[in-house]
Structure formats: C-alpha cells, structure tokens
Amino acid sequence: MAYVVTDECIGCKYTDCVDVCPVSCFHEGPEMLYINPEECIDCNACVAECPPEAIWADVDLPEDKLQWIEINGEMSAKYPVLHESRGPHGQPSSQPS
Ligand code: SF4
Ligand code: SF4
C-alpha cells in the first residue's frame, strides 16, 4: 500500500503536505506533486494537510482515479524530492495567478 496524489493537485503547489511527511517522499513535477510508493510509510499525515483533497490511500481510490497509482510511481522516479513547502501556490499570494 502507498498514498497517491491525484489530479486535484494540478496547479495547487500549496505543498503543506510536504512538511508533515516523515520520510520526504513527495516529488515535484512541473504541474503537481507525486508520492514515491517505495518510500511512503502509509502514515496518513499528509491527507489532512491537503486542501483540495488530492491525496488518497491507493486502496481507497475510486475507479476513475486508479491510473494515478502508476503515474505516481513513474513520475516520482523522474522528478526530484521536494523537502520543504513553498508557501501558497509557490509564489507570494499578492501576485495574480
Ligand atoms: S497540498 Fe495537496 S494539492 Fe497541494 S501540493 Fe500537496 S498534495 Fe498537491
Ligand atoms: S502517507 Fe505519510 S509517508 Fe506517505 S506521503 Fe503521506 S505523509 Fe508521507
């Protein structure tokens, strides 16, 4: 089992999820974050820190989001670990989005 980031994460980059992960298993791609399934220890800490509710336990994923298991595995291998949160949307909140 592992936790999985899904499409609700696209464009969020709020990244509070990263600060609570005890094993630094979030990786940052151009559009969203991904969880490394080899590193995730299923602690559940990140779920409550994710405002758009993008993070799921793989066993609880609805059928239309099952593809995100494979995507997280592939993309977390491709992109670097994000060790600390970046703040709202990765930029000062006064800037237009
Ligand atoms: S808080 Fe949720 S939606 Fe935002 S970056 Fe983290 S996983 Fe993605
Ligand atoms: S469930 Fe725990 S170990 Fe897995 S990504 Fe979330 S905070 Fe990290």
List pLDDT tens digits, range 15-27: 999 999 999 999 9
**Is 92 inside a domain boundary?**
no
Burial, 10: exposed, middle or buried (Cβ in 10 Å; 0-12, 13-18, 19+)? middle
Residue 86, both tokens: 């970046």
CA distance 62 to 89: 26
Task: Tell me the ligand closest to 82's alpha carbon.
Answer: 1
55 C-alpha vs ligand 1 centroid, how far in Å? 7
Parent domain of 48: 3-82
Nearest CA to ligand 1 atom 8: 9
φ and ψ of 77, to 5 deg: -75, -20
pLDDT at 94 over 90: no
Number of domains the chain contains: 1
Look at residue 87 and tell me if it is in a domain. Answer: no
Ligand 1 pocket, Cβ-based, cut-off 6 angstroms: 5, 8-9, 12-17, 32-33, 49-50, 52, 54-55
pTM, two decimals, is 0.90
Query: Is residue 96 predicted with pLDDT exceeding 50?
Result: no
